[in-house]
Amino acid sequence: MSDLVCVGAIAGAFGVRGEVRLKSFTADPTAIAEYAPLTTEDGARSFDLDLGRPVKGGFAARLSGVMTKEQADDLRGVQLFAPRDRLPDLPDDEYYHADLIGVEVFDTGGAPLGRVKAVHNHGADDLLEIHGPGLKATVLLPFTLAAVPTVDLAAGRIVADPPEGLFPDKG
């Protein structure tokens, strides 16, 4: 498990005074401010955060050290991370996406299906992007109790009961 969790991303400059448009990935979007200072993934930069008003696609926000529109524009696409120990503990049936990436996935018979490459959410349920040997392309597995009955992060394994035909040569 990673010590850092991605809690937001900078979508670009907002206005001309160094504010950024900030996308929050936290369950309560305003909670992102509680986890500051936030860092870049490599830890090279750290930002204190002053969350402003809601704007389309996120919030107008001030980041420490960002004073001009050009500096804000240079940060477009930068993901912001918080140390895991600053984040709340989750209920037993919820997971941070960062904890699922890289975990091995097995079918209910114990045969390996691949590893979680990414977690996607396009509005409904989360989807686990699975890749591995024997797969010509990645497979998107619905992250529902029916399709993924067991997640054992301590053992580093996920047990999946995928819909028939989702994985080649399975079911």
The tens digit of pLDDT for each residue in 40-54 reads 988 899 999 999 999
Beta strand 157-160 with 104-107 is parallel
- In a shared domain, residues 125 and 64: no
Global pTM reads 0.68
Residue 61's domain is classified under what CATH number? 2.40.30.60
Alpha carbons 106 and 67: distance in angstroms, whole number = 49
Which residues neighbour 28 within 8 Å (Cβ) at sequence distance 6 or greater? none
Q: What is the pLDDT of residue 22?
A: 95
Q: For residue 87, what are its two tokens?
A: 């984040």
Q: Would residue 151 count as lying in a domain?
A: yes
The tens digit of pLDDT for each residue in 2-17 reads 688 888 999 999 999 9
Domain count, the chain: 2
- In a shared domain, residues 102 and 156: yes
Residue ranges in the chain assigned as alpha helix (H): 69-74, 97-100
